[in-house]
Amino acid sequence: MEVLPPPPTLAIMIRYLIKHNIWKLIRHRTVLGIIIILSLIVSTFGVLFFSGYFSYSYYDSIKGKTSSLSITITPTSSSQDIQSILNTITNLSGGSINSITLSDGAINNNYSDGNAIPVIGKYSKTEEEQLLLGRYFHEGENCPVVLLSETCASILGVSNMPLSETLSLADKQFEIIGILFHSDLAYILPINYYMDHYTANKIDVFFNAHLEKESLRVIQNLPGVRNAEYSEPPSPFLSAEFIPSLIQILLIYSFTFLNIILVIQLWQQSNMEQYKLYYCLGANLGTITTIASMQIIFVSIFGVLIGYLVFLLLLPTFTSCGIIYATIVDCSVLVIIISAIISLFSIIYCKKFTNGLRAFRGRS
């Protein structure tokens, strides 16, 4: 009677997997291997890129959706009067101010000419995260420097690395120190410099707090205040901009992971004869599931990391190509999430896939 060799151990099967299954994919199934790797690279790139775009659209939908206070001040108000108003608002809001904007209050919808773009003074806690290039204002800065929105830079024709260039505004020279995405269509100056050199007719304040009626009356009665209007935010999740952006990114993610699933399924189907051989030699379904899952995870994570590197290499070119990307997205976290989803799917799919081998042993 012929003596059969003992069933291969998991360690032997793993070594065989690395030396044979993946090597066979690269060497003997080159087209399939290229399709799988390219699919993972493109899918990873797409998730990272469109996540930045979704963040951009989402920020647009929630921008300014905090409690707001719009104050009209008298033209004769001095910088000391304005500072007193701002100090009072800060105290009454519990120090929760997100941004303060000073302007002349004029409304001009014709921005095709750079001379028509308004000049504002601004303080913001979060706007530094919107930087595409350069730096934000230093705390208490009172110098002739200016920030531009990406649209403003485009109108002026200074989208490509304009930092340290000089901009002339009403016979005053300003150094361009940065460009912001999704910011005010204006020449943005440090708020202290604006108070000392420009006439402010309006103050817009956004903060994360509820303002009581008594506090509003205190503000309305301050010297230099002509009128004060207070409003609280609607839900950003009901905005017309947010829902289409959410649907778009969900569809992109769905098609991305469907693409990954299909190429992985194609690869596993091509390995079916190999798994049948393992099963005939006595390997249990758990061992085969481990082998199948590990080879998918190994190749998938390799493809995801290559896609991540490609994205990082191309990221600096987005601005020069006129593409606005929200760099506040943490791409490394997204890479971990993508890898975790693929790994989880691999384990679940391979367990279900290898269960189909039960019937094969019965027939054999």
Boundary of a domain, candidates 199, 218, 235:
235
- Looking at residue 211, its amino acid is L
| pLDDT tens track for 225-240 | 888 888 876 555 555 6
- Is residue 185 located within the same domain as residue 205? yes
Both 231 and 243 in a single domain?
no
Quick one: average pLDDT of 27-49?
Answer: 79
So what's the pLDDT on residue 64? Answer: 47
Beta strand ranges found along 74-201 (DSSP E): 97-103, 119-124, 131-134, 145-149, 166-169, 172-180, 187-190
Q: E strands within the chain?
A: 67-73, 97-103, 119-124, 131-134, 145-149, 166-169, 172-180, 187-190, 202-207, 225-231
Return the pLDDT at 240.
62
* Spatial separation of the C-alpha atoms in residues 13 and 39, rounded to whole Å: 27
Q: What is the pLDDT of residues 81-112, one digit of tens each?
A: 888 888 888 888 777 788 888 888 765 555 55
3 state DSSP class of 172: strand
Do 318 and 170 share a structural domain? no
Cα(15)–Cα(93) distance, integer angstroms:
65
| Pair (306, 342) in one structural domain | yes
Does residue 5 fall inside a structural domain?
A: no
**Which of 203, 235, 267 is the last residue before a domain boundary?**
235
Residue 31 in this model has a pLDDT that exceeds 70: yes
Task: Tell me the pLDDT band of 172, cut-offs 50, 70 and 90.
Answer: confident
Crossing angle, helix 331-354 and helix 285-320, to 10 degrees?
150
Distance CA 252, CA 46 (A): 8
Quote the pLDDT of residue 302. 83
**What span, in angstroms and rounded, lies between the C-alpha atoms of 178 and 214?**
40
Domain that residue 158 falls in = 66-235
Q: Chain-wide mean pLDDT for the chain? A: 75
Residue 135 is assigned to a structural domain of this protein: yes
Let me know whether 49 and 162 are in one domain.
Answer: no
Residue 161's pLDDT band, with cuts at 50, 70 and 90, is: low
Could you tell me which of 233, 211, 224 has the C-alpha nearest to residue 92?
211
Question: In this structure, is residue 4 part of a structural domain?
Answer: no
Residue that the structure tokens 């019937």 belong to: 359
Report the SS3 class of residue 230: strand
Confidence at residue 237, expressed as pLDDT on a 0 to 100 scale: 56
In a domain, 112, yes or no: yes
User: Are both 231 and 94 inside the same structural domain?
Assistant: yes
What DSSP string runs through 12-70?
A: HHHHHIIIIIHHHHHHT-HHHHHHHHHHHHHHHHHHHHHHHHHHHHHHHHHTT-SEEEE
Does an H or E element contain 137, and which?
none
Higher-confidence residue: 76 or 318? 76
Question: Does the pLDDT of residue 326 top 70, yes or no?
Answer: no
Does any domain span residue 2? no
From CA 112, how far away is CA 243, in angstroms rounded? 30
Both 75 and 185 in one domain: the answer is yes
Of 235, 267, 299, the residue that ends a domain is: 235
Domain check: are 206 and 106 in the same one? yes
Please check whether residues 208 and 270 belong to one and the same domain: no
Burial class, 259, CB count within 10 angstroms (exposed 0-12 / middle 13-18 / buried 19+): middle
Query: If pLDDT is split at 50, 70 and 90, which confidence band does 327 have?
Result: low
Instruction: Give domain status of residue 293, yes or no.
Output: yes
Q: Between 331-354 and 30-62, two packed helices, what is the crossing angle to 10 degrees?
A: 130
Considering only 1-5, 72-76, 215-219, which range has the smallest mean pLDDT? 1-5
Kindly state whether residues 276 and 328 are assigned to the same domain: yes
84 lies in the same domain as 116: yes
Number of domains into which the chain is organized: 2
In a domain, 140, yes or no: yes
The candidate with the shortest Cα–Cα distance to 308, out of 330, 333, 326, 331, is 331
Cα–Cα distance, 291 to 300 (Å, whole number): 14
Residue 169 falls inside a structural domain: yes
Give CA–CA dist 85/66, Å, rounded: 20
Domain identity same for 275 and 355: yes
